[in-house]
Structure 1
């Protein structure tokens, strides 16, 4: 059990930096827009460019992890995304940024399916709580990203921030190689099989991650547009993510106890709180939103693992996440386009609408079953 906890800790660290790299862009958007002269829609494409290859590799990653070893593929992912992100230091034009982010997205996409399938398998009935710990990666990674990249961008130059992050994440991959010998769990007869009953959950995940990454991409700029400084706006972004650490832990624990009901409650509060944020732009809403915003991740992950067997768990985890990140690919660009045409307040009203639709889809899935 101690070995499992140690592995969970390292996997969680790798997931933290997976998110720190990808979420280094949002707090730097005001600087990048100024330097390169790009629009909000083009800024949104800086997230889309990594999320599209990330989404496409999900199912192959789940199946590859089942075949060659889940821990082995996680290590390949960490070194791959660290090296790819370090290439940001050489970018000089907008299309350079898109290409580097796409390469990063490919290697980052190899991580989630094998890692979550491995955790679900070794923790069994306690997988909700274990995945709640693992899923602190998004809030911690998103929270530390501006704390690392903004000071470096202001003191030196924003591209160096990615080099620093790459060195830090590569150390996690090295620790996994040295400290965890061999494969922890091997799949006897892996199958590339996606059951029909995961369709509604996958569609819901598409919409939820479109909303999730839409908010994360433009939240700092949303507050800058409402009269806050870049430093203050980055702080609110970090607060959302730091509070989300507790939201992730709470979400995992609630799933172990209340199962699917916990998902409905989390989605409902996300709809209400994102509506309040769009209407008022009050910073006090941010920490409350952070709890429910990040509680959804471990709940969806744990529920997905129960819809699969050991033979196809990696493939199913990858498929549901793939559909989610197709939504994440569309979300930032769609929201950026709406901001350009309608302004921030009206554009942000689409976020609670998406959460409301996702509640309906889960209810529909319940009735279908």
Structure 2
């Protein structure tokens, strides 16, 4: 596309704003599960009250969501390339709103598991289409900034879930009693449905050549989702029947990513081969496994970590960990802007990526050292977590822009879908393995150290990426 030179509000700004709001509700829907699980464990209510290791089971509930989320990454991007990115985005938000609402209306462990898997399946198609739509409508010199501004909505939704879930539960006690944990799902489900309707009205297609066929898109997505739902639930039931641990269930679920990648290579390798075989893209995919591990380790268990080490109430602990999340409001656009400033240099984005990952690794170990040696000052914890979050969320749009530059324009949806398919292995494993480490050792020290080690591995992987800038992004290769 030609770069827009007009001043003032442009059409791509409207797209940015709508996608920002979409990420707010999408992340609030998924992130509220962690505080809900923490509240249920602390109050010994619901289906976690009788669990032998409630931390491991609670982590598995988060992992099951990401199993569904992981498996629709590639189909979502693939169908976005075919039916329009806006179409799939609206479907994703509406789908997640419906399943989140029903999570709050229906009870029981099995129903909760099934609905969280369904929510993950619906939300899994958002990322690849969001990234592709930003790349499609944004002037090339503002690509990193656009990636960052939009995904700042992620941190707003994450922060809202961390800070607002417990107050919503408390507000629901007078009506729902011990089932007050359902209230956040009811509220967020309704809000998401409303947002989906607004996005459908506000997002108008710019490329009239790409049909926005909602019915065909829903039918095609549903076919994949039904199969994935059956597979995930079958694994869950079979594993429970033979007595596998929660960690082993999560490991098996993570292998679904490898199996599905094999299926993609066999059935669509000729069509999407460029995004499956490119060395730079493969390294970018692998780097994001530790990145997603870190995000969902902190997002799911952050409140429990701060509470265990610092004492105080769960509400206060969630407020402290929210400083890590809210830093993304600054970090996302800042990182995108910085990466745009160096995009013309050889390996410019890659080098910034390496520096940020190294700093991120350092801050993980600083926080670990502080809390494990008895540091309880919540102000100091909040400052460390804010700076850590600032760096983490700043590096995310750098990685996204790097992926966009290395992917063919007509296969961006497939590329971002593959990226998140692979990276969600980290999101699946982090909640349950970290929870199991906490349950086995009695503290979060070993889980924090593991997080730092994995981030260090990501830093080493990025070194292998070589400059390759796609001319379809409007930036000359060096």
TM-score normalized by the length of structure 1? 0.94
Change (3 A) 1:273 1:90: same
Measured in 2, the distance between the counterparts of 1:191 and 1:140 equals 37
Q: How many Å apart are 1:62 and its aligned residue?
A: 0.5
Partner residue in 2 for 1:243: 327
Change (3 A) 1:250 1:185: farther
Partner residue in 2 for 1:230: 314
Aligned residues of 2:165 and 2:184 also touching (Cα < 8 A): yes
Aligned residues of 2:103 and 2:182 also touching (Cα < 8 A): yes
Partner residue in 1 for 2:191: 168
Aligned residues of 1:209 and 1:327 also touching (Cα < 8 A): yes
Change (3 A) 1:101 1:154: same
**CA offsets per residue over residues 158-217 of structure 1, 9 Å max, x none?**
2111111112122221112222334547569x9533242211111111122112211221
Aligned residues of 2:358 and 2:456 also touching (Cα < 8 A): yes
Partner residue in 2 for 1:141: 157
| 1:130-209 equivalence runs, <5 A | 130-156=146-172, 157-182=180-205, 184=207, 191-193=271-273, 194-196=275-277, 197=279, 198-209=281-292
Partner residue in 2 for 1:349: 449
Q: Tell me whether 1:335 sits opposite 2:425 in the alignment.
A: no
Partner residue in 2 for 1:219: 302
Measured in 1, the distance between the counterparts of 2:394 and 2:61 equals 26
Aligned residues of 1:251 and 1:262 also touching (Cα < 8 A): no
Aligned residues of 2:20 and 2:152 also touching (Cα < 8 A): yes
Aligned residues of 1:61 and 1:110 also touching (Cα < 8 A): yes
Alignment counterpart, residue 418 of structure 2, candidates 319, 329, 337 = 319
Partner residue in 1 for 2:350: 260
Q: How many Å apart are 1:368 and its aligned residue?
A: 12
Unaligned runs of 5+ in 2: 5-9, 173-179, 212-269, 343-348, 372-379, 470-478
Measured in 2, the distance between the counterparts of 1:15 and 1:335 equals 26
Aligned residues of 2:37 and 2:58 also touching (Cα < 8 A): yes
Partner residue in 1 for 2:461: 361
Partner residue in 1 for 2:109: 94
Q: How many Å apart are 1:143 and its aligned residue?
A: 0.5
Q: Tell me whether 1:273 sits opposite 2:373 in the alignment.
A: no
Partner residue in 2 for 1:4: 12
Partner residue in 1 for 2:77: 62
TM-score normalized by the length of structure 2? 0.73
RMSD between aligned residues: 2.1
Measured in 1, the distance between the counterparts of 2:427 and 2:203 equals 32
Which protein has the larger Cα radius of gyration, Structure 1 or Structure 2? Answer: 2
Change (3 A) 1:76 1:235: same
Change (3 A) 1:48 1:183: farther
Aligned residues of 2:297 and 2:434 also touching (Cα < 8 A): yes
Measured in 2, the distance between the counterparts of 1:300 and 1:182 equals 27
Partner residue in 2 for 1:44: 59
Aligned residues of 2:21 and 2:153 also touching (Cα < 8 A): yes
Partner residue in 2 for 1:31: 39
Aligned residues of 1:191 and 1:312 also touching (Cα < 8 A): no
Q: How many Å apart are 1:26 and its aligned residue?
A: 1.8
* Secondary structure in 1 matching 2:125: coil
Unaligned runs of 5+ in 1: none
**CA offsets per residue over residues 36-67 of structure 1, 9 Å max, x none?**
22411111112111111111111111110010
Q: How many Å apart are 1:97 and its aligned residue?
A: 2.0
* Secondary structure in 2 matching 1:365: coil
Q: How many Å apart are 1:93 and its aligned residue?
A: 2.6
Aligned residues of 1:122 and 1:185 also touching (Cα < 8 A): no
Instruction: Give the aligned length.
Output: 368
Measured in 1, the distance between the counterparts of 2:406 and 2:13 equals 24
Change (3 A) 1:228 1:268: farther
Partner residue in 2 for 1:295: 394
Q: How many Å apart are 1:356 and its aligned residue?
A: 0.4
